[in-house]
Amino acid sequence: MGETATLAEFVESTTLDEVDADAVSHAKTAIRDYVGVALFGSHHEVGDHVYDYLDAYGGSGSATVFQREPKSPPAAALANGAFGHAVDYDDTFESIVIHPTSPVFAAALAAADDVDASGEELLTGYVVGCEVAYRVGHSTYPEHYQNGWHSTGTAGSFGAAAAAASVLGLDAETIRRAFGVVASSSSSLKKNFGTMTKPLHAGHAGQMGVRAALLAREGFTADPDIFEGDIGYNTVMTIDGAYDPEEITDGLSEEWAVLDVGFKPYPSGVITHAAMDAMRNLVDEHDLTPENVDEVVVTLEDAASEMLHHENPSNELEAKFSIEFCLGAILREGDAGIHEFTDEYVSEEATKAAIGKVSRAFEEDLFGDDFAGYGAIVRVTTTDGEELREEIRHAPGSPNNPVSDERLEAKFAECTETRLSAEEADALADAIDDLERVDVDELRRYLAPTAVGSAD
């Protein structure tokens, strides 16, 4: 059996009973993390623009749009996927550069609204979708990513299609056609990092995944073996014969990809996070301030250079891909969250002064063959001439360097406080924690714009 058929059979047949308990638990944590970030993103500038577009041109429907009026399932997936990635605070796989939950859960929820699925079916669809995004991504990694593609929008679209197909209850033959449809809609370029189009990638992947599943359900045709052959998707999307089909097929249902999901402690590109935590540790341990620091030098893996476009950012979106801003903000505040990543904060003279103290360096194979860990070395020279050094090999929040439950809970509270009351946020978290046993309406009541604490 070829890889397309194998993956489709997996999507059709997988039930929540087959998923390890620790993977189910981790999936719920990922969903809670995404929901908090997406609630905040729903009224961020990116969220406003996406919803205004849908309000004008997206038509009506009954699928949930976070803190907005409902739309059709594909439109809802576009909105909720973009909301989740609006401030670059959503999760990532540790071993590959993909933000899985924004496109995958957005698609699963839109499909659940279409067929009034149960919480268990929604959770299953999410886990299955993560698996497919992970495997398609790894089958082309790193060449696909290095060649300029943003895998959240490319591999993520297959995860979204799988999640929607699982929730809709499609059979394997139909799922193969859904994969064929979504393959011709899979796109996203890293060139757009630092702009509003980057979060649109996650929404686009969610929307295309739902669209593909719905078209396939209606009998729409596509090549049923889209991954295979000389002009198959993964060969076309890589270079020099780098596609490895065994990454798709080997070990399905043995090790769950959702366990590779890590959670961001900062709303910026994940490549900045190890350096930010290193800086945070030094600031805390040595009472550093912009006044007593002469210079900060951060060393990153050479491959990170293509993502960090903005040495002197002019706005929030550019700041997310500016290692100088990220460390400058930590130096000023001791931390950096959604309140620091704003256009206003980026433009302050004190911020610019802190940025000016930071310089970057890149080194090939900084930690050996460990780029996926997004490690960094931060060196600080104080005004007294003291030399300080902190090294972190894996991004905080990744499975190899997890952040505390308390830090994740604080992040959820930070993101939801402008949209929900504290009581509503707690009830929403409880509903997610009990997702396989509750009706999806338990989530929708807090995601809709009628929640008691929400405000425009």
Please state, in angstroms and rounded to a whole number, the distance separating the CA atoms of residues 151 and 320: 18
Q: Which CATH number fits domain 270-392: 3.40.50.10150, 3.30.70.3270, 3.30.1330.120, 3.20.20.140?
A: 3.30.1330.120
d(CA 270, CA 423): 31
Quick one: DSSP state of residue 362? E
Q: What pLDDT is recorded for position 167? A: 98
CATH 3.30.1330.120 in the chain, residue ranges: 270-392
Choose among 18, 30, 1, 28: nearest CA to 262: 30
Strand, coil or helix: what is 315? coil
The closest of 263, 264, 7, 235 to 131, measured between CA atoms, is: 7
As annotated, the residues of the chain forming the CATH 1.10.4100.10 domain(s) are 3-262
- The CATH code of domain 3-262 reads 1.10.4100.10
CA-CA distance, 183 to 197, in Å (whole number)? 20
Report the alpha-carbon distance of residue 373 to residue 24 in Å, rounded.
Answer: 24
Q: What is the pLDDT of residue 455?
A: 44
Position 450 scores a pLDDT of 63
Reported pTM? 0.92
- Which parts of the chain register pLDDT below 50? 370-371, 452-456
